Structure 1
Amino acid sequence: MTGLDDLPLRDDLRGSTPYGAPQKPVRIQLNVNENTHPVPDEVVNHVTAAVERAVRSVNRYPDREFTELREHLAAYLSDSEPSHPVTPEQVWAANGSNEVIQHVLQAFGGPGRRMLGFPPTYSMHSIIAAGTGTEWVTAHRDAEFRITPETAVAAIEREQPDIVVLCAPNNPTGTPLGLETIAAAYDATDGIVLVDEAYAEFMPAGHASALSLLPGRPRLAVSRTMSKAFAFAGARLGYLAADPALIDALRLVRLPYHLSAITQAAAVAALQQAPAMLATVEAIRAQRDRLLVELPTLGYSPHESWANFVLFGGVHDPRATFEYLLANDIIIRDVGLAQHLRVTAGTEAETSEFLDVLAKMPR
């Protein structure tokens, strides 16, 4: 049987492994930071009707510029940062924020260029870098997985990257990232600064997003997703806000008609129902904060989180703990950090069962 070694694979991809978060048919899935609350019936009905209308003209190519979707995304972002409104010309979208990030690297990375990240961070950043032939370089974080402006600037001056990627809040740690660090990173480079805000809706209410830094910073891009707070992971819709010139650069690398008419219709319909879609955010925050309070009573050490998950330390044997939970129909995530595991904040019932099972594990 032919294997990878028998194929003329690019040399820089040899030995690589694909992204592989476990997908197992268990009852309680708290491993990939989905919104575990079901989509409300009224939203299902609204999206279904929109998709049905789109199907009637699916013999035609979709709107290549996804005009209506950009208008709705711009309105949503402007509502979240009313003092710094976003226009449709500043918005880009693709099939999940991973494809958005890939477009950024295709346009501004590539062979002979470097992207700087700060592990532990979202694993797809380095994978997308590899896929686009962009060199992935790293720098250390400060205590408790934070990044100070001084740390960011020192790393940029040392590595001279073409792209700097920052997670705010960070995945897999949940760590907040100060706007002052983002601003300092921008001032320290002539390249692109990409802020991955996949979990922005779970930040404390009233906390400013990196969107507030966009004016006057044409090399700054802020990516978001509908996979998390919007409970729309299966629909695959990510988006980005940036200067219109940066958006023009992404047009150079996107595939023709990359967003299907079905995807566009479903996303617009979901955005029209944003209050209902986001109604669970406060409940998820409450379960996240509950984990932060109750895990220490079980002898674990959770880290501060502004996302919809909690990374907790003090795990003597992460693999054994993972397998014990799995045997009890619960899956969480081993992110490869020594003596740590990560758990998504689920519904109240899911969180309760996770804590109850964990409490019964022999230690």
Structure 2
Amino acid sequence: MIYLDYAATYPMTPEALAAYLEAAALPGNPASVHAAGQAARERLEEGRARVAAALGVDARTLIANGGGTEGDNHVLLGVAQAWEEAHGQPGHLVTTLTEHSAVLAPARWLESRGWAVTFLAPDVQGRYTPEQLAEALREDTALVSIHHANNELGTVQDTPALAAVAAARGVPYHTDAVQAPGVLPLDLTGWGVTFATFSAHKWGGPRGVGFLYLKRGAVLPAVTLGGGQEGGLRPGTQNTAGVYAAGVALTHAEAAREETFAHLTRVRDRFLAGVADIPGLRVNQPADASPKVASVTLPGADGEALLMNLDLLGVSASAGSACAAGTMQPSHVLTAIGLGEADARATLRFSFGRATTETEVDAAADALRQAAEWSRG
């Protein structure tokens, strides 16, 4: 099998798996005061400290949680709750049409409950400008939420410039940065973001583990109730083994980030060169997009048939976000940048990792050529 779906999930690295098994063997609850509990607490906090060091932030600004979806929901719903408690009425949210469903779903839920929501429209490459954001801000804007790197196109936003616009108006800024660690440089403090969300399985850690960054002084109430774990913001017994393994995985990923970026650029460009002669094929993302992703459209082909044929030929790819798979709806990201429904359905996403080889992308290019002939035939 040639696995080219790293944007959906990154296979757990050997180092992370070994760390997970080591910590999972510990019997204690990290909240317990006895020796077994404190041994678990040490692994939990070591994992958090490793993630914080890799991201360049204070470990006390990271809340361990269940992943990007939980973090995105916590920010949007928590900020909305705090705003309504302070102002006695709904406010205004600014986000974009190309966000992950983990942002779009709570945004639309808030809209159904009286919130005003501005969904910024992207240009044809999926970008947003500071001027566009400045025009959208209002006196009652409670939050801006714009992703850093898009999971389908790889388009990277100018997060520092966008966050500066929000900061100048005193508006908290959230970025879903799930696709960045281990590939793109991160500077949460320098960017000036208020909140950022991460998922460990995107960098070779375990699934079901993530982190929410809160800038010092940020106001964010809990949206679930229970114990006092994670400063009371995310109650429930922490996933000690998951957090520890996530930290080990990110330590390795960030240490090799520049090398990884260069490698991903080579294999992505080799893949795109290998499929360039497929009749009608179009590349969707900008040249300076994250090299982790290649989005290609084959007009006249059926995306579902393409994926099935690729799978039969031993290649794993996707038609867009894994969280939207099986909905039978065209990608909202692709339609937002101007693709028609038919072309959106004829678009595939190939995504690459550190283990992807040139031999694999050559074989995948040949497989896509064959799958396109079958689908169009």
Q: Would you call these one fold, judging by a TM-score over 0.5?
A: yes
Gaps of 5+ in 2: 85-89, 223-229, 321-330, 335-339
State whether structure 2 residue 121 is matched by structure 1 residue 121.
Answer: no
Q: Give the drift of 1:166.
A: 1.1
State whether structure 2 residue 26 is matched by structure 1 residue 73.
Answer: no
Q: Give the drift of 1:100.
A: 1.6
- 2: CA distance, partners of 1:144 / 1:248: 33
Q: Give the drift of 1:49.
A: 1.9
User: 1:106 aligns to what?
Assistant: 77
- Which of 127, 130, 148 lines up with 1:149 in the alignment? 130
1:52-67 correspondence runs (5 A): 52=25, 54-55=26-27, 60=32, 67=45
Instruction: Give the aligned residue type for 1:355.
Output: A
State the identity as a percent.
20
Is the partner of 1:266 in helix, strand or coil?
helix
State whether structure 2 residue 236 is matched by structure 1 residue 257.
Answer: yes
The 3 A distance-change label for structure 1 pair 146 and 275 is closer
User: 1:354 aligns to what?
Assistant: 364
Q: Give the drift of 1:175.
A: 0.7
TM-score after normalising by structure 1: 0.72
User: 1:194 aligns to what?
Assistant: 174
State whether structure 2 residue 51 is matched by structure 1 residue 91.
Answer: no
Is the partner of 2:145 in helix, strand or coil?
strand
TM-score after normalising by structure 2: 0.70
1:19-34 correspondence runs (5 A): 27-31=1-5, 33-34=7-8
State whether structure 2 residue 196 is matched by structure 1 residue 222.
Answer: yes
- 2: CA distance, partners of 1:69 / 1:91: 11
Q: Give the drift of 1:343.
A: 1.8
The 3 A distance-change label for structure 1 pair 233 and 288 is farther
User: 1:290 aligns to what?
Assistant: 270
- Which of 302, 308, 319 lines up with 1:334 in the alignment? 319
- Deviations along 1:6-59, whole A, 9 cap, x unmatched? xxxxxxxxxxxxxxxxxxxxx44544614656623x55334322322x235579
The 3 A distance-change label for structure 1 pair 310 and 211 is farther
Is the partner of 2:17 in helix, strand or coil?
helix
**8 A contact 2:148–2:159 mirrored in 1:** no
Instruction: Give the aligned residue type for 1:317.
Output: A
- 1: CA distance, partners of 2:296 / 2:159: 25
- Deviations along 1:197-230, whole A, 9 cap, x unmatched? 11223656xx56444223xx6xx222233222x2
Instruction: Give the aligned residue type for 1:246.
Output: A
The 3 A distance-change label for structure 1 pair 160 and 313 is farther
State whether structure 2 residue 140 is matched by structure 1 residue 182.
Answer: no
Is the partner of 1:264 in helix, strand or coil?
helix
- 2: CA distance, partners of 1:324 / 1:137: 40
The 3 A distance-change label for structure 1 pair 55 and 284 is farther
Gaps of 5+ in 1: 1-26, 79-85
- Which of 266, 282, 289 lines up with 1:301 in the alignment? 282
Instruction: Give the aligned residue type for 2:7.
Output: N
- Which of 294, 298, 321 lines up with 1:310 in the alignment? 294
- Which of 243, 267, 277 lines up with 2:246 in the alignment? 267
Q: Give the drift of 1:332.
A: 2.7
RMSD of aligned C-alpha atoms? 3.6
Is the partner of 2:7 in helix, strand or coil?
coil
State whether structure 2 residue 209 is matched by structure 1 residue 242.
Answer: no
**8 A contact 2:182–2:254 mirrored in 1:** no
Instruction: Give the aligned residue type for 1:242.
Output: L
Q: Give the drift of 1:67.
A: 4.0
- Deviations along 1:145-179, whole A, 9 cap, x unmatched? 1111112222334x954221111112222112114
Instruction: Give the aligned residue type for 1:267.
Output: A
Aligned length: 319
State whether structure 2 residue 24 is matched by structure 1 residue 51.
Answer: yes
- Which of 319, 325, 345 lines up with 2:352 in the alignment? 345
Instruction: Give the aligned residue type for 2:173.
Output: V
- 1: CA distance, partners of 2:316 / 2:197: 28
- 1: CA distance, partners of 2:120 / 2:250: 37
The 3 A distance-change label for structure 1 pair 237 and 131 is farther
Is the partner of 1:222 in helix, strand or coil?
strand
- 1: CA distance, partners of 2:19 / 2:6: 27
